[in-house]
Structure 1
Amino acid sequence: MADETLSNLLQENRRFEPPAALAAAANVTAEACERATADREGFWAEAAERLDWGQRWDQVLDWSNPPFAKWFTGATINASVNCVDRHVEAGRGDKVALHWVGEPADDARDLTYAQLKDEVCRAANALTELGVRKGDRVAIYMPMIPETVVAMLACARLGAPHTVVFGGFSADALASRVVDCEAKVVITADGGYRRGNPSALKPAVDEACAKVASQGREVEKVLVVRRTGQDVEWDDSRDVWWHDAVGGASADHTPELHDSEHPLYVMYTSGTTGKPKGILHTTGGYLVGTSWTHWAVFDLKPETDVYWCTADVGWVTGHSYMVYGPLANGATQVMYEGTPDSPHKGRWWEIIEKYGVTIFYTAPTAIRTFMKQGDDIPAKFDLSSIRLLGSVGESINPEAYMWYREHIGASSAPIVDTWWQTETGQILISPLPGVTAGKPGSAMTPLPGIAADVVDDEARSVPNGSGGYLVLKEPWPAMLRTIWGDDQRFKDTYWSRWEGLYFAGDGAKKDDDGDIWLLGRVDDVMNVSGHRLSTTEIESALVSHPKVAEAAVVGAADETTGQAVCAFVILRDSAGDGGSDIVEELRKHVAHEIGAIAKPRQIMIVPELPKTRSGKIMRRLLKDVAENREVGDVTTLADSTVMDLIKQRESSAAAKEE
């Protein structure tokens, strides 16, 4: 990545200092950063003291066989004990762990830590009765209900690694994951609620089990939660109702302490070869990394805060910052089953008002959707309880940041724009709310104990004001240990580009202050007339226009320039159709914000963008449209009909031009 092409794009001069009251009582101060720099392993050992261990570690980090790290070697620990038992034993059993909110408006229940512990123990006993032993894998294919958290913690208690598969995935996707990790048991539900209607899950499990059997393997038991009351097919030899097995089990369970490096879970993420990658996370280091970062980045005060991470538990954010991190810290949190716009567009804000949510963590995709709908919707609700906002999933556009700060955070709540990955397990780059002055759109600096940098093609650290590749120079506690069953793919994918450096696959730049800006996947960087341009920054330029809610940019083949900038834009509801000159207006806007080199060759106004179920934009499919190719595989999209709408819009635009 040539320096000059990634250093001359968007400039951001707005700064937001930490609120004085928050800074004065912040969990983490600048002094922690200094200590971590002076003694990184000592810093992580201190962070580990926040947890309950059995046997103490004899070594903080074993990096004798890179890239295979071992953290807290020789130590024993149980994640479930740290998430529930220890809070009950400390006299906090009556504290609410989960304010669970179902999608149907009158559906809600609270679980205290004591109640959660009892349910986890019952589930652990029930799974043992079903034949699950330490080391066995369990697949979880569930809606966002408390039993999903219970199932994960019960597996962790037994030392049975779980693989949670998002409940919107197909039977094929479930089957491929069950086969890859050789899951013995599947935990599911008859269905869940989505946009006002029951959505079936059990039929997909039945189909997946048949596919698994056709490949010479067998799912021994399927444990089913009755959630919606839908009729389901039943196999008496395999299927078991949760309310029978778990409801009838004892609430007494003596947990075993597991080795710090014992596998905790396998999380599948899409791979470039088409075969999903099973990212393996182990127990001790993962729990240290997630619990410390949750406490530090969100400045968690567990006695008074009500925390809400909106991620589905089928994604790593749901694992690290809805289950393991918050529960290890004894947090009270909200868990919501449904979508943000059901039964009405103000549903999330209604929940924040009802439960007095103080810390809110969501994705830029959701924020831009709310921008599209209009400022008047959140204005109807009392959001004054919020003291801290978080963003996760991809870089937040500066104007989306400003909207979030003003309309959800009352122009006072700090925003922590967090960068991390499924593979990293924990947040690595983020503002610290009591230390860092926020800049709209920047992830800012690596957290204490994290050695991240931006380098050039020769792995040299780039100077301030320049761009390159984001890398990690030292191991960190919650890092992936390998790809399940494929050590070579692990080495090839993450460690082969430069010796000793973890390559995240993301482009980044350092601004003039040395703060880090994420520029999207390196695969998405465009080469226009010899200039390497970031899709992220052009998208942010488009979103800064008052009529635009969301934008996606791709590079399409062009005979003259090599690649040309093609943009797909969703307008805000208040903008209507934008007017007949909207395309030229937006092209000029980008040229003004960035420069003529970034001016889009074409802009298409679209009703929606193709997104995965985790909210990430599938630019690959948009590139197919821009280059007039047959659109590729759409099975991972949240709504596969979106591409049909885009193609129809393209056809009508082409017809008008003719």
Structure 2
Amino acid sequence: MSEEYRQAYDRSIKRSEAFWMEAADAVSWTKPPTIAYSQEDGWFADGELNTCYNAVDRHVGAGRGDNAALIYESAYTGASESLTYAGLLEAVSKTAGMLQGLGVEKGDRVIIYMPMIPEAVFAMLACARIGAIHSVVFGGFAPPELAKRIDDAKPRVLLTASCGIEGKRVIPYKPLLDEARKIAEHEVDHVVVVQRLVHQAQISGPNEHDWATHLKDASLAPCVPLRSSDPLYILYTSGTTGTPKGVVRDNGGHAVALTWSLANIYGFKPGDTFWAASDVGWIVGHSYIVYGPLLAGGTTVLYEGKPVGTPDAGAFWRMVTRHSVDILFTAPTALRAIRKEDPEAQYLKLIGIGGVRAIFLAGERADPDTLAWAERVTGLPVIDHWWQTELGWPAVATCLGLGDLRRRHGSAGFPVPGYRFAILGEDGHEVGAGSTGAVAIRMPLPPGCYRTLWNNPAGYARSFATFDGHYETGDAGHIDQDGFLCVMGRTDDIINVAGHRLSTGQMEQIVAAHPAVAECAVIGADDALKGMVPIGFAVTKSGPQFGAELADQIIQRVRDELGPVAALRTVHIVRALPKTRSGKILRASLRKLVNGEPVETPATIEDGGVLDELKGLFQTKSDSG
């Protein structure tokens, strides 16, 4: 343990308010806070600031206007662009003026339904500039899902693009948007469309506008002072039924937490380049494509492409070398995809890793085998860390910026300063070291975490109702003898097999370690005799074809490591696993499949064909009548 980490963590717990008031000094306030925390109003309640000013204006004012702020590259169109802070300031100020010209005021909502293009970043920062509350919806979401968000957020303006690109497919957005508006009850005042060269949308009607035309006559809008507690954005968590949860992020706590995290977790300095290979529609994109690196005075990378197939498994390595990336942040599924196509890392040997200092992983549990492979071929620290949309920034990590390098494959590291974790049993009491329980965080949550759900206070309260004085993460895990926190999966991934509580995440760890397996999933299936039994799915690596004996080998490995109680009897060797566009495996859909329940194709799915293939393995109740 580094002494710097130990001191920071101890101080963040024992003198929490003083710790975060010091961290707040790194942010520019129009009215500095005098109160650190209020149970009613949250962090820095009496402070006033503007997040866009902190992310853009202040760097220009400090003489860094010619420094690179945003690098954009599209592997699909070949477009490439670099904006300085001065250039970003002009683009954002004009976009903010365009919104004001459409009647948008402080507190109004603006939905941003866009692909990975610079205008998406301009739009987010422009909303922050004038105090509008943005809600980014992942580009290409199905109309019913977009309609739910329109009805819940009730936006005044909807910003979109003519199309997105997925692989070789051009996806027109305007027809999806038109259908969503027909479904939604709320009427949007204005729609503004960015026309992309690969596809032009039909713009008609008095309240539909071309982005470029409308932007041309816009004035430059100044920053609006906002209270620390004023909402910055609403980010909806995905859901296939009902109204999705709209996580609300405040301005003050968010700016302080992200600024602190860049320096102390990632070891990121002003002038460094940060690439979060994610999407602006997800929390990683909000925190570490758009806001975090800019708040810290660095360069951020916006990439429209995939880890493989655009054009090959060397795409990431070309990006980091071409753009002098210092910190790479991606999902484990990206590394698994690269490894599957290039197991010997030939592209990496050919291209190199440039000046990357570390690779951070999040979004799903990183299996030890993938971590070991990535560290071996890159020679870099590959750091798994854990957080959630609700939290907004990492809660468990190896704090590189605090001099900590301790890592253990299978663990996301240690509690980040400000977070107090407890592993709780069903009775609400803490369990012993190594014992699995519910991962909970003691109140109050540190700055940057959510303080409500949009239009859903009851839903927010439920996350604090199960365990008194704690936020229930919904994940299961344990803390080992050395203090490493291991998050094994959602609490519903703990299955009860004939009275034995087993972690499917632990089984996945064993399956993933097989040399032939590229990625896998283990879920619980209903069983009349044992209550539940585990079922495995495995995707093999590129190269030699593996026969039916692979399933037997996997079953034996699990039995050898966990004993007969593991009860893994069935493993399906499949072409691919169903995933969201952010790379998360759709375990709930797999669970429904194996239990014979009807399965709808989720709006977040990356490739619906994969789910269709898997349906052929199982006879659903609806098929059997």
TM-score (norm 1): 0.90
* Partner SS for 1:611: coil
Q: Distance in 1 between matches of 2:315 and 2:590?
A: 31
Q: Which residue of 1 aligns with 2:382?
A: 415
1:486 matches 2:456: yes
Q: Shift of residue 204 of structure 1?
A: 1.3
Work out which of the residue numbers 223, 243, 252 in structure 1 matches 2:212: 243
Q: Secondary structure at the match of 1:335?
A: strand
Residue aligned with 1:641, SS: helix
How far apart are residue 635 of structure 1 and its match? 3.5
SS at 1:437 equivalent:
coil
What secondary structure does 2:449 align onto? coil
Deviates more, 1:87-96 or 1:382-391: 382-391
1:296 corresponds to 2:264? yes
Q: Residue 61 of structure 2 aligns with which residue? A: 89
Structure 1 residue identity aligned to 2:321: E
CA distance in 1, matches of 2:182, 2:530: 51
Query: Which whole-Å CA distance do the structure 2 matches of 1:573 and 1:495 have between them?
Result: 45
Kept in 2, the 8 Å contact 1:429–1:445? The answer is: yes
Give the deviation of 1:154 after TM superposition: 0.3
Residue pairs, 1:563-578, within 5 angstroms:
563-576=532-545, 578=546
Aligned to 1:20: none
CA deviation after TM superposition for structure 1 residue 273, in Å: 6.0
Question: Which of 18, 37, 51 is matched with 1:42 structurally?
Answer: 18
Q: CA deviation at 1:633?
A: 4.3
- Inter-partner Cα distance in structure 2 for 1:495 and 1:35: 25
Cα deviation digits, residues 187-244 of structure 1 (max 9, x gap): 01111333244321122122222222xx2x2111111112235232222401111111
Question: What is the CA-CA distance between 1:293 and the residue it aligns to?
Answer: 1.3
Q: Secondary structure at the match of 2:29?
A: coil
Q: Quote the offset at 1:566 in angstroms.
A: 0.3
How do residues 532-543 of structure 1 correspond to structure 2 at under 5 angstroms? 532-543=501-512
Distance in 2 separating the partners of 1:463 and 1:401: 27
- How does 1:511-530 map onto structure 2 within 5 Å? 511-530=480-499
State whether structure 2 residue 349 is matched by structure 1 residue 379: yes
Task: Indicate yes or no: 2:6 matched with 1:30.
Answer: yes
> SS at the partner of 1:399?
helix
- Does 1:133 find its partner at 2:105? yes
CA contact under 8 A between 2:98 and 2:215: conserved in structure 1? yes
Cα displacement (A) at 1:649: 5.0
Q: 2:174 aligns with which of 173, 198, 202?
A: 202
Q: Aligned partners of 2:176, 2:240: CA distance in 1, in Å? A: 25
Residue type of the partner of 2:32?
Answer: R
The correspondence of residues 75-86 of structure 1 with structure 2, limited to 5 A, is 75-86=47-58
* Alpha-carbon distance between aligned partners in 2 of 1:101 and 1:171, rounded to the nearest angstrom: 28
Residue in 2 aligned with 1:363? 331
Report the secondary structure of 1:203's partner residue: helix
Alpha-carbon separation, structure 2, partners of 1:480 and 1:158: 21
Measured against aligned partners, the alpha-carbon deviations of 1:279-329 in whole angstroms (never above 9, x if no partner) come to 1111101111122112211100223x3211011000011001111111100
Structure 1 residues 140-149 or 446-455, which shifts more? 446-455
Provide the secondary structure at the position in 1 that maps to 2:284. helix
Per-residue deviation, 1:35:
2.4
Equivalent residue number for residue 73 of structure 1: 45
Deviates more, 1:91-100 or 1:611-620: 611-620
Paired letter, 2:233 = Y
CA-CA distance at 1:274 after TM superposition: 2.9
CA contact (8 A) 2:601 2:608 kept: no
* TM-superposed deviation, 1:460: 2.0
Partners of 1:519 and 1:635 lie apart in 2 by 25
Q: 1-side partners of 2:247 and 2:467: how far apart? A: 21
The letter of the residue matching 1:364 is P
Could you say which residue in structure 2 is the equivalent of 1:8?
Answer: none
Q: Which residue of 1 aligns with 2:434?
A: 465
Q: How far has the Cα of 1:333 moved from its partner?
A: 2.1
Aligned to 1:349: 317
What percent of counterpart residues are identical?
A: 37
Provide the TM-score with structure 2 as the length reference.
Answer: 0.95
- Mapped contact 1:399–1:544 kept (Cα < 8 A): yes
Alignment partner, residue 477 of structure 1: 447
Taking structure 1 as reference, are residues 105 and 189 closer, same or farther at Cα in structure 2, changes over 3 Å only?
A: closer
Q: Does the alignment pair 1:233 with 2:202?
A: yes
Distance 2:44 2:333 in 1: 37
Alignment partners' CA distance in 1, 2:434 and 2:570: 29
Matching residue of 2:622:
none
**1:210-221 paired onto structure 2 within 5 Å:** 210-212=182-184, 215=185, 217-221=186-190
Quick check: 1:196–1:343 contact (8 Å CA) kept in 2?
Answer: no
Match of 2:412 among 438, 443, 451: 443
Moved more, 115-124 or 235-244: 235-244
Question: Secondary structure in 1 aligned to 2:110?
Answer: strand
- What CA distance in whole angstroms lies between the structure 2 residues aligned with 1:456 and 1:619? 24
Give the C-alpha shift of residue 130 in structure 1: 0.8
User: What is the rounded CA distance, in whole Å, between the counterparts of 2:550 and 2:501 in structure 1?
Assistant: 26
Instruction: Supply the distance in 2 between the matched residues of 1:175 and 1:268 (Cα, whole angstroms).
Output: 12
> What is the distance in 2 between the residues matched to 1:272 and 1:240?
31
1:110 to partner: Cα distance? 0.2
Q: Matched residue of 1:138: which SS? A: strand
SS at match of 2:164: strand
Change in Cα spacing, 1:491 to 1:273, as seen in structure 2 (3 Å) is farther
Are 1:54 and 2:19 an aligned pair? no
- Once the two structures are superposed, residues 476-517 of structure 1 have per-residue CA deviations (whole angstroms, 9 ceiling, x without a partner) of 11111111112112112x011022211010001111212110
For residue 151 of structure 1, report the CA deviation from its aligned partner: 0.2
2:146 matched to 1:179?
Answer: no
The correspondence for 1:608, drawn from 576, 589, 602, is 576
In the TM superposition, what whole-angstrom CA distance separates every residue of 1:354-393 from its partner, at most 9, and x where no partner exists?
1122211001111221222123343332114221110011
Residue identity in the other structure for 2:35: Q
User: Does the 8 Å contact 1:74/1:260 carry over to 2?
Assistant: yes
Give the secondary-structure state (helix, strand or coil) at the position aligned to 1:506: strand
Tell me which of 189, 193, 196 is aligned to 2:165. 193
CA distance, structure 1, for counterparts of residue 285 and residue 600 of structure 2: 29
- Post-superposition Cα deviations, 1:532-577, rounded to whole Å, max 9, x if no partner, equal 111111111001010001111111122332211100110111242x
C-alpha distance in structure 2 between counterparts of 1:513 and 1:596, whole Å = 28
Q: Which runs of 5+ in 1 are unaligned?
A: 1-16, 18-22, 652-658
For residues 249 and 281 of structure 1, the distance between their equivalents in structure 2, rounded to whole angstroms, comes to 28
Q: Which residue does 1:401 correspond to in 2?
A: 371
Distance (Å, rounded) in 2 between the aligned partners of 1:631 and 1:229? 34
User: Comparing 537-546 with 552-561, which one deviates more in the overlay?
Assistant: 552-561
**Amino acid paired to 1:232:** A
* Aligned residue type for 1:227: R
CA-based RMSD: 1.8
| Structure 2 counterpart of 1:104, from 66, 76, 79 | 76
Find the aligned partners of 1:344 and 1:584 in 2 and give their Cα distance: 32
> Which amino acid in the other structure matches residue 480 of structure 1?
Y
Return closer, same or farther for 1:335/1:270 CA change in 2, 3 Å cut-off: closer
Q: Which has the higher contact order (CA 8 A, sep 6+)?
A: 1
What count of residue pairs does the alignment treat as equivalent? Answer: 613
Q: Distance in 2 between matches of 1:545 and 1:599?
A: 18
Which runs of structure 2 are paired with 1:597-636 in the superposition (5 Å)?
A: 597-636=565-604
CA deviation after TM superposition for structure 1 residue 29, in Å: 4.2
